[in-house]
Amino acid sequence: MEKKGTFYITTPIYYPSGNMHIGHTYTTVAADTMTRFKKQTGYDAYFLTGTDEHGQKIERKAAQAGKTPKEFVDEIVAATKDLWKLMNIEYDDFIRTTDERHVKAVQKIFKKFYEQGDIYKSAYEGQYCAECESFWTPTQLKE
């Protein structure tokens, strides 16, 4: 079969602050299904999923469990991969924000943006909500 082109699909990179739930599963099954369909219809399809392993919520949950953040997320990632395997999810890559390749890529792009003047260091004031993982300004809090 002649290839129609390349198709790239990704899930959000999930926050492993607890075990995966039906929402994570729904999204991953949908992405897996779309990837399989694209492959069957002649596309070179690539499916990426993974985890974002940073943030105060993970730090707090790890401390409550008496573990380092890395130990905590390692267990959840292993359970997640086991679940996806049990469900016959066929991803091409599972990226973790703690993977060395990810760390190096982020450092490289941030350095480039900084050198180009696209980003800069500055002070920012706002209240941080660990649960929603966002900063809020007084104006936003009034809305």
Compute the distance between CA of residue 75 and CA of residue 27 in angstroms, rounded to an integer. Answer: 21
CA separation for the pair 115, 93 (Å, rounded): 31
Contact 50/91 with Cβ under 8 angstroms?
no
The pLDDT-based confidence of 120 (bands split at 50, 70, 90) is: very high
| Confidence tier at 126 by pLDDT (50, 70, 90) | confident
> What's residue 136's pLDDT?
86
Looking up residue 88, the CATH number of its domain turns out to be 3.40.50.620
pLDDT digits (tens, 9 = 90+) for 43-80: 999 999 999 999 889 999 999 999 999 999 999 999 99
Structural domain range at position 111: 5-142
- pLDDT score recorded for residue 131: 79
Q: How many domains does the chain divide into? A: 1
